[in-house]
Amino acid sequence: GAVVSQHPSRVICKSGTSVKIECRSLDFQATTMFWYRQFPKQSLMLMATSNEGSKATYEQGVEKDKFLINHASLTLSTLTVTSAHPEDSSFYICSASGLRTGELFFGEGSRLTVL
Amino acid sequence: SQQGEEDPQALSIQEGENATMNCSYKTSINNLQWYRQNSGRGLVHLILIRSNEREKHSGRLRVTLDTSKKSSSLLITASRAADTASYFCATDAVNTGTASKLTFGTGTRLQVTL
């Protein structure tokens, strides 16, 4: 099946620094990628929808200046958490949609810990 | 919030027993999907049922969909310890303007003991 790779899988950073998380579709072209956030023992909450070559669409309540999303190619989207704070500590998961509607593939997630 | 709800929140059963999880959602949908997540890992797609389908099977999984009640159930038969995980339903709502934009339910944590 299709593979979506996230990197890094774990990152620890100091408060105030910025962290970039990459999401790559390895064997298919992803026209749309989604970024989710998941707190412990909770569900996934959609943060934003990223379309290749255009600006991301953010969900209500998600600060676009805080969570910068870039989808520069059909195989790569990046999420940058700027000026991270401890409350940004979470599990971030991306998913990528191929050309077939409803077919969605998830990355393994990236656990961010902000000290 | 448009997030769906699942019940039970947690379920503990013994190996060999069946596990049933329920999902309710709020909007009209194109399809409903079930995913599995092992602790600290990504999601694994289990099964997709379209809005015009009422029941679907895949191995030990059986999914039902009742669009009039806006609900779905996932049945895992003859459970195994390896089925221990969190299970989420996710809906692909009509008219979101974006294919595959999923809204996830609150999840059921399944524990299967030997």
Q: What is the pLDDT of residues A106-115, one digit of tens each?
A: 999 999 999 9
What tens-digit pLDDT sequence spans chain B (114 residues)?
A: 556 788 899 999 999 999 999 999 998 998 899 999 998 888 999 999 999 999 999 999 999 999 999 999 999 999 999 999 999 999 987 755 555 688 899 999 999 999
Chain A residues whose beta carbon lies within 8 Å of the beta carbon of residue B33? 102, 104
Chain A residues whose beta carbon lies within 8 Å of the beta carbon of residue B53? none
Q: How far is B47 from chain A (nearest CA, A)?
A: 11
- The predicted-structure confidence for A23-48, as pLDDT tens digits, reads as follows 999 888 888 899 999 998 889 999 99
Residue A55 has pLDDT above 90, yes or no: no
pLDDT, position B92: 85
Q: Which of A104, A112, A113 to mutate to test the interface with B (most CBs of B within 10 A)?
A: A104
Q: How far is B92 from chain A (nearest CA, A)?
A: 8
- Residue pair A18/A82 in contact (Cβ under 8 Å)? The answer is yes
Interface contact flag, B100 A6, Cβ < 8 Å: no
Please state, for a pLDDT cut of 90, what percent of chain A lies above it.
70
Residue A1 has pLDDT above 70, yes or no: no
Residue A16 has pLDDT above 80, yes or no: yes
Q: Which residue has the higher pLDDT, A99 or A95?
A: A95
- Residue pair B54/B61 in contact (Cβ under 8 Å)? The answer is no
Residue A84 Cα to chain centre, angstroms: 15
Distance CA A25, CA A2 (A): 8
pLDDT, position A107: 93
Interface contact flag, B99 A101, Cβ < 8 Å: yes
In A, minimum Cα distance to B31 occurs at A102
Nearest to A11 by CA among A20, A2, A1, A24: A20
pLDDT, position B9: 92
Amino acid at A104: L
When mean pLDDT is compared across A9-13, A97-101, B106-110, the lowest value belongs to A97-101
Residue A63 has pLDDT above 90, yes or no: yes
Would an 8 Å CB–CB cutoff place A41 in contact with chain B? yes
Q: How far is A79 from chain B (nearest CA, A)?
A: 17
In A, minimum Cα distance to B42 occurs at A108
